[in-house]
Amino acid sequence: MTIILEAAEKEQKVVVAVDESEESMYALSWCLNNLLSGNHNPNTTLILIYIKPPVPVYSSLDVTEILFAEDVIATTEKYSKDLANSVMSRADAVYRNYNTKVKVEKKVGSGDAKDVLCMAVDKLGADILVMGSHDYGFFKRTLLGSVSDYCAKHVKCPLVVVKRPKTA
């Protein structure tokens, strides 16, 4: 009697960082076209991750300002939640345009994008991280910092930074 065992395909996790920008949606499309197109591994998971900016912290000794600050914080949190839902809906629409049979998970974090993204990728055990390039110039990148530059130095998996072609 001969027993033939098929090797189980390794679980693969592809993480795509999404935000409200066209660059991140382009990176998701690129990933679906180039990394996941025709993927027949049933153990592949596409993880869409959005990082909300942290809610500002207010401190004051004046009671009236504290009451107004609570309203501002509540409004900011609602806006942040609505924005996260909007980003995930847009990413969902991009994903649905492709004929790929991978599992999709959606994760939303909060905090400094570069730190939270690197920790999440490590915790998720990602095999690859895909993110879009905002193509900031030298001065803007110097002031704001580059999330992709930071991730390139700190994530333990391969990183693909996708640059959207310039339109004529």
Least Cα distance to 25 among 86, 105, 107 occurs for 86
Residue 106 belongs to a domain: yes
Q: Is residue 3 part of a domain?
A: no
For residue 93, tell me if it sits in a domain. Answer: yes
The predicted pLDDT at position 144 comes to 47
Tell me the backbone φ, ψ of residue 138, rounded to 5 degrees.
-55, -50
11 has a pLDDT exceeding 70: yes
Is position 1 within any domain?
A: no
CATH number of the structural domain spanning residue 98: 3.40.50.620
- Tell me if 132 is assigned to some domain: yes
d(CA 110, CA 105): 17
Cross-strand partners of 105: 47
Structural domain span for residue 85: 13-162
Beta bridge partners of 15: 47, 129
Express each pLDDT in 22-75 by its tens digit.
999 999 999 999 988 876 677 899 999 999 887 665 555 555 555 556 777 778
pTM (whole model) above 0.85: no
Distance CA 140, CA 37 (A): 35
Does some domain include residue 101?
Answer: yes
pLDDT in tens, 133-154: 876 655 545 544 588 888 999 9
Tens-place pLDDT, residues 62-108:
555 555 567 777 787 888 889 999 999 999 999 988 877 789 999 99
Q: Is 6 a domain residue?
A: no
Q: In the predicted model, is pLDDT for residue 13 greater than 60? A: yes
Domains identified in the chain, total number = 1
Residue of 133, 117, 151, 111 whose CA lies nearest to 49 = 117
In a domain, residue 124? The reply is yes
